[in-house]
Amino acid sequence: MKLTVEIDPRSGFCNGVVRAVQQAENYLQYSPRLYSLGAIVHNSVELERLKKKGLEIISIAEVAELHHDVILVRAHGEPPETYELARRNDIQVIDCTCPVVLRLQERVRATWQRLRESQGQIVIFGKKGHAEVNGLVGQTAGEALVIGSIAEIDAIDFSRPVALFSQTTKDPDEFRRLADCIRARRPDAEVYDTICRQVAQRHKSLVAFAESHSVILFVSGRESSNGKVLFDLCRSVNARTYWLENAAQIDFGWLKDGDSVGICGATSTPKWQLEEIFLYLQDVTKS
Ligand code: SF4
């Protein structure tokens, strides 16, 4: 079978994930083990690689059992209670919260404090229970309202002032539609587009990439919310888009002779994984 294969030049880890993984690997050069509070990246293949180096994922309940130890806080960030717990238990924190998320946490906290007098509500467009979203809700003493889609808009109390923020990896178009619906019911609503610029840029370039190939192999862990958003985006412009986690999952029934295959992934998909699939396809189609 003859195929032309290209890796999306913009795919690969985002800066926040690169930084967290680098810090974990630096630490593990001198220590046999490091606890990560939650998965450092939503990608089982990359997690397995880091596990072999000594990275161990633990839950917040397990952190409560630790004393005089070291934990890593991943790029998604954590609510203030986590840092208080670490202080109480004399745990050193390697804080890998992405600077973009850190700034967002500060904005959410400042806006919540400012709007308290006028009974204002902080609304976060995001996935309920997602670590980054939990970290944001934690800036408001648990008061922020999280909505995952426009369908949930009635949960907002429109008799009170509203300030809207977004989880950094949400779909920019959906955020704009949600903001329009909110402004239609509360024209003075404060709208803060806090989608990560790297993610927003990737949305634009990914559409062009998916349109320029006959087949798209989208590589991502199943738990990645950014993976779900970007996969749906590719699918919306190229019906022959397939989700996979590793080369072994490629179904050759997806491919036809002469296809131009595009390989891309989420912000939690390492470049080496895309390259592995590229080499695998080249190898198989050579023989
Ligand atoms: S997607 Fe953006 S905000 Fe989120 S971790 Fe990556 S660089 Fe940071």
Q: Do residues 101 and 76 touch, judged by C-beta distance below 8 A? A: yes
**Is pLDDT at 287 greater than 80 in this prediction?**
no
Amino acid 242: pLDDT: 98
Domain shared by 105 and 93, yes or no: no
Confidence band, pLDDT 50/70/90 cuts, at residue 284: confident
Q: Which ligand 1 atom sits nearest the alpha carbon of residue 132? A: 4
Residue with the larger pLDDT of the pair 13 and 103? 103
* Structural domain for 26, as ranges: 15-97
Domain shared by 251 and 204, yes or no: yes
- Final residue belonging to a domain, choices 139, 161, 191: 191
For the annotated catalytic residues, the residue numbers are 132
Amino acid 43: pLDDT: 87
Cα 169 to averaged position of ligand 1 atoms, centre (Å) = 7
- Final residue belonging to a domain, choices 191, 208, 225: 191
As a whole number of angstroms, the distance between CA 240 and CA 132 comes to 31
CATH of the domain at 218: 3.40.1010.20
Q: Do residues 64 and 85 touch, judged by C-beta distance below 8 A? A: yes
150-157, long-range: CB < 8 A, 24+ apart? 150/174, 150/177, 150/178, 150/181, 153/178, 153/181, 153/182, 153/185, 156/121, 156/123, 156/182, 156/185, 156/186, 157/121
Amino acid 206: pLDDT: 95
**Is pLDDT at 140 greater than 70 in this prediction?**
yes
- Final residue belonging to a domain, choices 191, 219, 237: 191
Out of 136, 166, 197, 267, mutate this one to test ligand 1's pocket (max ligand atoms within 8 Å of CB): namely: 267
Domain shared by 277 and 202, yes or no: yes
Q: How many domains does the chain have?
A: 3
Q: What is the mean pLDDT of residues 78-107?
A: 98
Q: What is the mean pLDDT of residues 117-128?
A: 96
Nearest to 241 by CA among 223, 264, 224, 257: 264
> Residue 125 forms beta bridges with which residues?
147, 166
Out of 10, 96, 98, 170, mutate this one to test ligand 1's pocket (max ligand atoms within 8 Å of CB): namely: 98
Please give the model's pTM, rounded to 2 decimal places: 0.86
As a whole number of angstroms, the distance between CA 118 and CA 97 comes to 31
Q: What is the mean pLDDT of residues 179-203?
A: 94
Domain shared by 91 and 104, yes or no: no
The DSSP element (H or E) to which 105 belongs, if any, is: helix 99-115
CA 128-205-8 angle, to 5 degrees, is: 95
**Is pLDDT at 23 greater than 90 in this prediction?**
yes
Domain shared by 66 and 127, yes or no: no
Give the pLDDT confidence of 33-71 residue by residue, as tens digits: 999 999 999 888 899 999 999 999 999 999 999 999 999
**Is pLDDT at 286 greater than 80 in this prediction?**
no
